Amino acid sequence: MANEKIPYKIYLEENEMPKAWYNVRADMKKKPAPLLNPGTLEPMKAEELAPVFCEELIAQELDNDTAYVEIPQEIRDFYKMYRPSPLVRAYCLEEKLGTPAKIYYKFEGNNTSGSHKLNSAIAQAYYAKKQGLKGVTTETGAGQWGTALSMACAYLGLDCKVYMVKVSYEQKPFRREVMRTYGASVVPSPSMDTNIGRKINAEHPGTGGSLGCAISEAVEVATSTPGYRYVLGSVLNQVLLHQSVIGLEAKAAMDKYGIKPDMIIGCAGGGSNLGGLISPFMGEKLRGENDYRIIAVEPASCPSFTRGVYAYDFCDTGMVCPLAKMYTLGCDFIPAPNHAGGLRYHGMSSILSELYDQGLMEARSVKQTDVFEAAEYFARCEGILPAPESSHAIRVAIDEALKCKETGEEKTILFGLTGTGYFDMVAYEKYNDGIMDDYIPTDEELAKYREKLPKVDK
What residues line the site for ligand PLP (CB under 6 A)?
A: 115, 117, 144, 234, 267-273, 342-343, 387, 389-390, 418-419
Give the shortest CB-361-to-ligand PLP separation in angstroms: 13
* Angle (deg, nearest 10), helices 144-156 and 118-130: 40
Closer Cβ to ligand PLP, 135 or 416, answer by number? 416
CB atoms within 10 A of CB 340: 28
What's the burial of 371, exposed, middle or buried (CB within 10 Å: 0-12/13-18/19+)? buried
Rounded CA separation 129/151 (Å)? 14
DSSP letters, 265-323, are: EEE-SSSHHHHHHHHHHHHHHHTTS---EEEEEEETTS-HHHH-EEEEEESSTTS-SPE
Please say which residue, 389 or 400, places its beta carbon nearer to ligand PLP: 389
CB of 12 or CB of 148, closer to ligand PLP:
148
Question: How far apart are CB 108 and ligand PLP at their closest, in Å?
Answer: 7
Buried b (16+ CB within 10 A) or exposed e, 224-244: eeeebbbbbbbbbbbbbbbbb
Give me the least distance between CB of 234 and ligand PLP, in Å please: 3
Q: Give the nearest distance from C-beta 391 to ligand PLP in angstroms.
A: 9
Shortest reach from residue 342's CB to ligand PLP, in Å: 3
Whether residue 53 contacts residue 35, with contact meaning beta carbons closer than 8 Å, is answered with: no
First and final C-alpha spacing in the chain: 43
Cα distances from 181 to residues 113, 118, 150, 275, in angstroms, run 12, 16, 9, 30
| Residue whose CB is less far from ligand PLP, 84 or 114 | 114
Burial degree of 291 (CB within 10 A; 0-12, 13-18, 19+): exposed
Q: Which is nearer to ligand PLP, 93 or 343 (CB)?
A: 343
Minimal distance in Å, beta carbon 413 to ligand PLP? 18
Q: Provide the H-helix boundaries in 80-143.
A: 91-97, 118-130
* Nearer CB in complex with ligand PLP: 269/318: 269
Taking the complex as a whole, the smallest distance from the CB of residue 300 to ligand PLP amounts, in Å, to: 16
Residue 111 vs 317, nearer CB to ligand PLP:
111
Cα–chain center distance at 140: 12
Q: Is 245 exposed, middle or buried (0-12, 13-18, 19+ CB in 10 A)?
A: buried
Q: CA-CA-CA-CA torsion for 324, 329, 331, 332, nearest 10 degrees?
A: 170
Contact 309, 333 (CB under 8 A): no
Residue (6 or 211) nearer to ligand PLP, CB: 211
Q: How far is the CB of 238 from ligand PLP (least distance, A)?
A: 12
Residue 133 vs 421, nearer CB to ligand PLP: 421
Q: Are strands 362-366 and 323-328 parallel, antiparallel or unpaired?
A: unpaired
Q: How far is CA 238 from CA 25, 203, 204, 248, in A?
A: 11, 34, 33, 16
Give min distance, CB of 7 to ligand PLP, in A: 25
CB 316 within 8 A of CB 222: no
Q: Which is nearer to ligand PLP, 197 or 342 (CB)?
A: 342
Q: How far is the CB of 326 from ligand PLP (least distance, A)?
A: 12
